[in-house]
Amino acid sequence: MKKTLLVLFLVALVYPGLSQSVPSSAKEKKHTTKSARFKKTPEKDVKAQKMPEIWEAGAMIIKNSKQADSMLVSMFNGKTTSWYPYSKEIPSYYGQSTLIHELELWFFYGNNYTPQEKNVASYDEEGRIIRLETHLHENNNWKPYFATETAYDHWGEETFYAFYMYDDHAGEWEIVYGFRANDTFNDNGVLVQRVWEYHMSGDWYPDYMEEYILNEQDVIVEIIEYYYDGWDKDWQPEFRMVLELCENNMWQSGYAYEWHWFYEEWVPQIKYLDFQWFDFDRMLFSYLLTMVNPDAFDDDWDDWKNHDDIDWTNYLRFHMEYAEGGLMTLMHLELWYDSDGEYDFDWHPVMKIEIAYDHHLNVVFETFSTHNGFEWEIMFGFKLDMEYHNDGSVKSFVYSETWDDWDWKGKFIPVLRYDYHYGEDTTDIPLVEQPGSVLKVFPNPAINYLRLELPATFGYADIDIIGTDGRVLFQTQKANFSDGQPVILDVSGLKNGVYIVRVQHAAQQYATRFIKR
């Protein structure tokens, strides 16, 4: 969900030429703040479990009301429009809760399942995963490989993230990259400063700082952002927001500025008008109108003006809707522009996000769409077609995706199907068998090349490499396995991560995961 301050910063960053420096992806990830954290006694948000982390954590991220014994996973084959066995997930739980502690992933080879991967999770008091370790099955043992760790403040904001790799020689986890926040509070326990640091080459370095100016009631009236100048070893101003409050001590309007490094003064750029709130304590607004100062983006600008002298122009308009508990269901953005070149300016739809939830608060539908001037086009999205038992527990779901692609446009393509099994409801496929895999993949992890080996009787086959988002990243047809020699794939162009390699010939099909370093 887009947090309110992120939306306000986005207003300032979207306009062409506004930012004098390009923010890093790490910096963008940090700015997910919302004003709920600035209250001394905030009401806790109702948390919804989001997707599509299904590719990384499997059924571990699906909220359920009952402990399942196992989940059979099938993958959709678009060529044959049929489902084929992919994996089996075997959970163990924290006591009598439905929080999964360990989840073993057994992948389907031939007619059996073979253990390959295990995820181990830790949770906070609100049921959020704060540490997720991935172990690989080697020589009949589970070997730790990589892990992620997250921490949140009292208001649900991510204040720490780290990615670790396991060092076999040292016998310990080593951080590869990450970011963290160092907070300062006033005497009333309200946040007044947050310094962001990033991890690189074994150490932490300052990156960004946010300062919050409060009134006597500890409500924010000004926000100043700084970036760290590594050359001068000093903080430099970059962005500033000044908020005006209504009689109820809530934000009503305000201004956004950017620091002009040459003139050394704050340039007014964005004007916020007509805040309407669903819940101010958690910074959930339902409407916001913004205007822009066109003079601020003139290269020849050298004449600072008072706010009243600026020829403010309509810019962006936000509409937000929420479900009970404050879960966002709609963000709708309109832009003020001339659509036909006739100087006939008006509000036009440009972007929207739509989200739906089930009774467990799983996100079962989410799309990001843009408007092309005639109709809405989904750029990307996913959905879960859920099926439940009479007691409300999950029976099965189909995970589907859509992308801004000529073949996919407007269509949700099924990717994975999960079938849950409880108690006596077992499958006729053996649970614990470890035969030699028909498809052999090595080395795993791979760095530059991946070798695939199949019996010579397999002949020629098509090979796909699939990313964790379900998209086919590499394809080759009629790879020759008939001479008994391994087929070698160049994977040097892939980003580090986990991938699926799928080999298909006629009715025969095999798939397994591999890791790219």
Does 188 reside within a domain? no
Which of 226, 242, 223 is CA-nearest to residue 234?
226
Q: What is the pLDDT of residue 300?
A: 57
Residue 249 in domain: no
A 10 A CB-CB count for 231 gives 6
pLDDT tens track for 337-389: 877 666 678 999 999 999 999 999 999 999 999 998 889 999 989 999 999 99
C-alpha distances in Å from residue 444, one per residue of 136, 148, 402, 481: 10, 20, 30, 20
Q: Find the CATH number of the domain harbouring 506.
A: 2.60.40.3080
Euclidean distance between CA atoms 88 and 307, whole angstroms: 63
What pLDDT is stored for residue 475 in this prediction? 86
323-341 per-position pLDDT tens digit: 988 889 999 999 998 776 6
Q: What pLDDT is stored for residue 27 in this prediction?
A: 33
Whole-number pLDDT of residue 436: 43
> According to the model, what pLDDT value does residue 18 have?
28
3-state secondary structure 210-223: EEEEECCCCCEEEE
Reduced to 3 states, what is the DSSP secondary structure of residue 410?
coil
Alpha-carbon separation of residue 145 from 100, 139, 167, 200 (angstroms): 19, 14, 8, 20
Number of folded domains in the chain?
1
Please name which of 280, 8, 44 lies closest in space to residue 155, comparing C-alpha atoms.
44
**479 belongs to a structural domain:** yes
Residues in a beta bridge with 517: none
Token pair 């502690």 is at which residue? 101
Q: What is the DSSP letter of 281?
A: G
Q: Is residue 510 part of a domain?
A: yes
Cα–Cα dist 376/358, whole Å: 25
Has residue 167 been placed in a domain? Answer: no
Instruction: Supply the pLDDT for residue 33.
Output: 35
Residue 490 maps to a domain: yes
- Residue 498 within a domain: yes
DSSP letters for 231-280: TTTEEEEEEEEEEEE-TTSSEEEEEEEEEETTTTEEEEEEEEEEEEEEEG
Determine the structural domain holding residue 455 and report its residue range.
440-516
Closest among 352, 353, 350 to 371, alpha carbons compared: 350
The stretches in the chain having pLDDT less than 50 are 1-52, 426-436
| Residue 267 belongs to some domain of the structure | no
Burial of 458 by CB count in 10 Å (0-12 exposed, 13-18 middle, 19+ buried)? buried
Residue 43 and residue 240: Cα distance in Å, rounded? Answer: 28
**pTM score, two decimals?**
0.75
Helix/strand/coil for 224: strand
| Euclidean distance between CA atoms 127 and 105, whole angstroms | 22
Dist. CA 293–CA 490, nearest whole Å: 51
